[in-house]
Amino acid sequence: MTILMEEETEVSFDFDHEALAREIISAACDAEDCPYETEVNLTLVDLDTIHQINRDYRKIDRPTDVLSFPMQSFDAPADFSHAEDCVEENFNPDSGELLLGDIILCVDKVKEQAKSYGHSEKREFAFLILHSMLHLFGYDHETETEREEMEARQRRILDDLGITR
């Protein structure tokens, strides 16, 4: 597994955010029975940067907490049956790893939301990365059924890791 992490803002968490990101991404891959080694890009940004990206790519003119840019198209969430149909597009030619996509996480929102929700920054950081990973695997929350399924998966994975509110 390769995680290409870039910090475009100051990161001052009281936990090892790189190790936690690796743990969450690995747990998500395991939980979804991903049959491949994977590559994920994780970029940590500030409020202004995520606002601009949200405006430019989603046409939503406000900051958000996390953005997901999947590289794979799934017929159903975490259905890897077509990944090898186009090896040149889906896999890194140097490493052979499945290209899952990009996660852009706002450090300011992690801190703000942790305080607002009354839990640790570690829990919020883990939750947002996991939420984004599920989007990279093709999950969404546009309908009530999708939302319930995604929330149940998030809860189970975080509980299994002992990361609770």
- Res 164 pLDDT > 90: no
pLDDT digits (tens, 9 = 90+) for 102-121: 999 999 999 999 999 999 99
* Contact between 150 and 12 (Cβ < 8 Å): no
**Is residue 162 left, alpha or beta, with left meaning phi > 0 and alpha meaning psi from -120 to 50?**
left
* Contact between 112 and 46 (Cβ < 8 Å): no
Tokens (6 digits) for 16: 């090892």
Q: How confident is the model at residue 32 (pLDDT cuts 50, 70, 90)?
A: very high
Alpha carbons 129 and 6: distance in angstroms, whole number: 14
User: Residue range 137-147: average pLDDT?
Assistant: 95
User: Residue range 60-78: average pLDDT?
Assistant: 96
